[in-house]
Structure 1
Amino acid sequence: MTNGTERSIARALARALALPTLLLVASTSAALAQSADLVLCDRIAADPADPDKPANVKGVAEIAAGDVETAIKYCRTAAPGSRRAMYALGRAHAAAQQTPEALAAFRKAASKGSTSAMVELGVAYATGAGVTKDEAQARQLFAKAAEAGNPRGISNLAVLGGGASSDPTKTRALLAKSAETNAEAQYQLGLMLAEGVGGPKDDAQARALFDKAAAQGHAGALERMGAFAQAGRGGPQDAAAAKGFYERAAALGNADAAAALKRADCPYSIKDRQGKLVSNLCF
């Protein structure tokens, strides 16, 4: 074998040995680029309540107006390999008021198992936002998310009455699972306990749940705490505390709390011969 032939073989072997390395570098670079897109998507568009969100990702309750276009760009790139990025892409489109695009992203994310996307689709069907209103479809989506343990799925299912008529015991059990941390679940479970729906009536436990949710600024729970404190249900009667709860709830837009405050300020009513309210006497 000549020296020239030997050199040709050596160069061929070198190229063959280098090829896997080059492929590995290219593959690694692509993976790193996709990871960078996902990191940026998470940073500006991740949902703090998304169960798919890693613990080290804080998330944002609302995507800032100035970040919407950037969120769409990076989340769209990361979405094919990440269902949470696909869900975040839906959030970004929703923030841009691009409802068809948002729903399309939510559907794709839900098909990949995103329970947060299932909840968003359920809300759309429950309210008729961008789709024909369909409570049965909404209930089905909420139920699927709830079965997977999504707190919003559980609480929304309860709000919609997903189990109140068919299986209130199951609904109550699902709410109990997420009531440790979720204010809406605490409130909904408190309502069921207060009325004895799906199990024994328990005013003390209901009041404790309302108190937890009220501490997180839940308007409905604040109003219920006012009513329970005023009546002495599930704990001590305290008119001053009741007024404080009502005021906080009313400030958050709760109409029942505002009405309760008005009744407290105007305790006497004037009625006509038929017993209909004509006016209140206020002091």
Structure 2
Amino acid sequence: MLKRLHAIIVAVVLTAPALAHAQSADLVLCDRVAADPSDPDKPADIKGVPEIAASDITTAIKYCAIAARSSRRAMYELGRAHAANRQATEAAAAWRKAADKGSTSAMVELGVLYGTGTGVGKDEAQARKLFERAAQAGNARGVSNLAALGGNAASDPARARELLARSAETNAEAQYQLGMMLADGKGGAQDDIAARALFEKAAAQNHPGALERMGAFVAAGRGGPKDTDAAKAYYERAAALGDEDAKKALERARCPYVIKDKLGNAVTNLCF
């Protein structure tokens, strides 16, 4: 079946010279199973997957390894495939190569490995350096991870907003992160209307966190109209993508009545 799928993609590429010049059949397959939805290198017409399915790991490693010879995006995706296969050392090697070629997503992931000491020696200074490079290039996760380390973005939240705004026009993660800053009033004035608009943009791209935030904003009528049914729909979409806060929100809605003991401790919920 896999060989047949590969043959079909090769045929399609060969019948479309412009597309064939743009990307190989191996890259098409690599993107299909391993593209990161938040990767700035990802073309807009590629959906991506939040997590690589276990059944797709072998396919991802095989075809991303071939495509990575000429594509830094594929090299980054190869790192994702190795990480999904619990091969931290191999993931680090792939991300290092992709980062050297300018992949900001690879910089972030490699920084996480250095920050946690997974697959490489723990080195917070190296993690900070990688996050700073990604943040300077406008990578949203680079900005937020740098802030978590207490880097420049944390000491200057206004600068963090500026960095996020660079990629917020098209990148869902940047829209979500900037929306969070606007919602919390970090780095400038609080603006629920603008935050909601950013969450809505990211939610349209199936960003789990943005879907959960849209649920919360719509449920409370924050930054726009209140709509309980719409809020539930947002929560359900976020929960389906694995967002734990959305799952809790749905459970609270299903079981809103808290039963407490004589000390005031919650012991159970009544559901309907």
Aligned to 2:244: 255
Residue identity (%) = 62
Check conservation: 1:45, 1:59, Cα contact below 8 A: no
Q: What is the one-letter code of the residue matched to 2:113?
A: A
Q: What is the one-letter code of the residue matched to 1:224?
A: R
Q: What is the one-letter code of the residue matched to 1:144?
A: R
Cα 1:271/1:105, change in 2 over 3 Å = closer
Residue 211 of structure 1, CA deviation: 0.9
Check conservation: 1:126, 1:138, Cα contact below 8 A: yes
5 Å-filtered alignment, 1:190-269, equals 190-269=179-258
Cα 1:274/1:135, change in 2 over 3 Å = farther
SS at match of 1:204: helix
Aligned to 1:270: 259
Cα 1:266/1:149, change in 2 over 3 Å = closer
Cα 1:217/1:159, change in 2 over 3 Å = farther
Residue 229 of structure 1, CA deviation: 1.2
RMSD over equivalenced CA pairs, Å: 3.5
SS at match of 1:165: helix
Aligned to 1:99: 88
Unaligned residue ranges in structure 1 (runs of 5+): 1-35
Picking from 43, 51, 68, the partner of 2:61 is 68
Residue 245 of structure 1, CA deviation: 1.5
Distance 1:262 1:50 in 2: 32
Cα 1:191/1:235, change in 2 over 3 Å = same
Distance 2:129 2:117 in 1: 15
Cα 1:198/1:72, change in 2 over 3 Å = same
Cα 1:172/1:97, change in 2 over 3 Å = same
Check conservation: 2:57, 2:85, Cα contact below 8 A: no
Distance 1:218 1:60 in 2: 11
Distance 2:103 2:116 in 1: 20
Unaligned residue ranges in structure 2 (runs of 5+): 1-20
SS at match of 2:170: coil
Check conservation: 2:259, 2:268, Cα contact below 8 A: yes
Picking from 179, 182, 206, the partner of 2:168 is 179
Check conservation: 1:106, 1:117, Cα contact below 8 A: yes
Distance 1:211 1:112 in 2: 33
Distance 1:246 1:43 in 2: 32
Rg comparison, structure with higher value: 1
Check conservation: 2:30, 2:67, Cα contact below 8 A: no
Residue 71 of structure 1, CA deviation: 4.5
Q: What is the one-letter code of the residue matched to 2:263?
A: Q
Q: What is the one-letter code of the residue matched to 1:68?
A: I
Check conservation: 2:82, 2:91, Cα contact below 8 A: yes
Distance 1:39 1:124 in 2: 30
Residue 175 of structure 1, CA deviation: 0.9
Aligned to 2:115: 126
Distance 1:210 1:202 in 2: 12
Q: What is the number of equivalent residue pairs in this alignment? A: 242
Cα 1:225/1:116, change in 2 over 3 Å = closer
Distance 2:220 2:177 in 1: 20
Cα deviation digits, residues 51-80 of structure 1 (max 9, x gap): 678x799797667623634543574xx47x
Residue 193 of structure 1, CA deviation: 0.6
Aligned to 1:20: none
Aligned to 2:269: 280
Cα 1:148/1:269, change in 2 over 3 Å = closer
